[in-house]
Structure 1
Amino acid sequence: MYRAKWAGRAAQVFLLLAGLLLLPALACAKGANTRHAVLVVGDSLSAAHNIPAASGWVNLLQQRVSQQITPPPTVINASISGETTAGALTRLPALLEKHRPSVVVIELGGNDALRGLSPAQLRGNLEKMIVASQKAGAKVLLLGIDVPPNYGPAYRDRLRQVYAGLASQYKVALLPFLLEGVALQPGLMQGDGLHPTAKAQPKVLDNVWPLLKPLLNEPPN
């Protein structure tokens, strides 16, 4: 009888010790899961404007990471058609707290420019978003935009300088122009001349991927 009691207690002690040894590993795994996400904060260029949502470049991104990254991160598309940097800045804290992303992709500025916001105001809002994302432990990919030629070369140059200056100051990855090789190309832009077609979405993703993939393979900040 004593042997049976001793064996039972020994088994309980063994299970307790095993559980204690597993706790750090479980905690690490839980932390890795909560940090393994890509948050895309953008406007209609990332919100699949006027095309099927499944064909948008952000949805295609989820498919690609599922094929090429192990374990694949979850891609959260928090883009809204018509979004401005001011609106996204207001939404960002809650998004960071909820999703705890390892990477934040910021694709904004087009609507600010179309509404006549000064490059200085645009820069201020984007800067706050970058700082907030980095403080939350996320790496940042900044996607630059351009405006139609009728805005004039001076304004367009100032716009480009906003993105380049922020990328340099805060050491973030930068794609200078999201629609490189897409804008002005027949069949790749919708009738409004501002939004890419469904056919263009793989090309948009191909523009983003070379800059995003290295960030996915780096450890969280």
Structure 2
Amino acid sequence: MIVLTAAALGGAAVHAAEGPVKLVALGDSLTAGYRLPANAAFPAVLERALKARGRSVEIANAGVSGDTTTGGLDRLDWSVPDGTDGVILELGANDMLRGTDPAVARKALETIVVRLKERGIPVLLAGMLAAPNLGAEYRARFDAIYPDLAKAHGLVLYPFFLEGVTGHRANTMEDGLHPTAQGVETVVAGILPTVEIFLDKLKPGR
């Protein structure tokens, strides 16, 4: 009986030693929580939602307002430390708003994905859609970036990060772009099932 109890305790200790799944949300102001308190930003709200569903997770906020895909690439190594189990990659909105050539954004995002994969860090790719006023050709090229990269690299994809936010006044700030606290809750409710799929791929059974 003593041996069995010790073994059980040992197993529990090993499980506890594993600790929570550590995610990094790498993004722009949509991740950072523009004009919102830290506890209302996307990573914090998502972490609470996952914990409420019994998930042991920690999500670091590596969002920088105004950041582009190339900016995210430039700071990748220090934004995603060793020991990170997975990354939620949310970049591209600022490239689109500036009318940056979609080829530039595609290359930067793909380089981020490849470099993380080389480090053994899986990526959940959060997609973005181009604004209608940028024209059909630009929209087609930009909107294709995310599904193309997801297919090419076997990524879990959430097609549109701002689903349920864009065009909904209560969910956006006066600028019509950034989510309100309610908007962030909407984002989290939408992306939550995809994040759980991602987590199950990282740590089966958790």
TM-score (norm 1): 0.80
Root-mean-square deviation over aligned CA pairs? 2.3
Alignment-derived partner of residue 36 in structure 2: 51
Within the alignment, does 1:156 sit opposite 2:156 as a pair? Answer: no
**Rounded Cα–Cα distance in structure 2 between residues aligned with 1:88 and 1:152:** 26
**Rounded Cα–Cα distance in structure 2 between residues aligned with 1:128 and 1:26:** 38
Alignment-derived partner of residue 60 in structure 2: 76
Alignment-derived partner of residue 87 in structure 1: 71
Larger-Rg structure: 1
Structure 1 residues 181 and 27: CA distance shift in structure 2, 3 A: closer
Which of 102, 108, 125 pairs up with 2:108? 125
Within the alignment, does 1:62 sit opposite 2:47 as a pair? Answer: yes
Letter in 1 for 2:197: P
Equivalences for residues 207-218 of structure 1 within 5 A: 207-218=190-201
Structure 1 residues 69 and 128: CA distance shift in structure 2, 3 A: farther
Greater mean alpha carbon deviation, residues 72-81 or residues 137-146: 137-146
Which of 83, 90, 95 pairs up with 1:112? 95
SS in 2 for 1:39: strand
**Rounded Cα–Cα distance in structure 2 between residues aligned with 1:82 and 1:183:** 18
Alignment-derived partner of residue 3 in structure 1: none
Letter in 2 for 1:51: L
Structure 2 unaligned regions, length at least 5: 1-5
**Rounded Cα–Cα distance in structure 1 between residues aligned with 2:184 and 2:202:** 28
**Rounded Cα–Cα distance in structure 1 between residues aligned with 2:113 and 2:160:** 18
Letter in 1 for 2:68: T
Within the alignment, does 1:168 sit opposite 2:139 as a pair? Answer: no
- Contact 1:43–1:81 (CA under 8 A) maintained in structure 2: yes
Alignment-derived partner of residue 126 in structure 2: 143
**Rounded Cα–Cα distance in structure 2 between residues aligned with 1:86 and 1:44:** 15
Structure 1 unaligned regions, length at least 5: 1-17
Identity of aligned residues (%): 34
Structure 1 residues 29 and 164: CA distance shift in structure 2, 3 A: same
**Rounded Cα–Cα distance in structure 1 between residues aligned with 2:73 and 2:43:** 20
Greater mean alpha carbon deviation, residues 131-140 or residues 37-46: 131-140
**Rounded Cα–Cα distance in structure 1 between residues aligned with 2:182 and 2:63:** 20
**Rounded Cα–Cα distance in structure 2 between residues aligned with 1:66 and 1:28:** 17
Structure 1 residues 26 and 137: CA distance shift in structure 2, 3 A: farther
**Rounded Cα–Cα distance in structure 1 between residues aligned with 2:174 and 2:16:** 48
Which of 21, 31, 37 pairs up with 1:36? 21
**Rounded Cα–Cα distance in structure 2 between residues aligned with 1:220 and 1:133:** 17
**Shift of residue 69, structure 1, vs aligned partner:** 3.4
Letter in 2 for 1:151: L
Q: How many residues align?
A: 196
**Shift of residue 64, structure 1, vs aligned partner:** 1.6
Alignment-derived partner of residue 9 in structure 1: none
TM-score (norm 2): 0.85
CA displacement 1:163-215 (0-9 Å, x = unmatched): 11100000101111111121011211111111111111111001211111122
Letter in 2 for 1:58: P
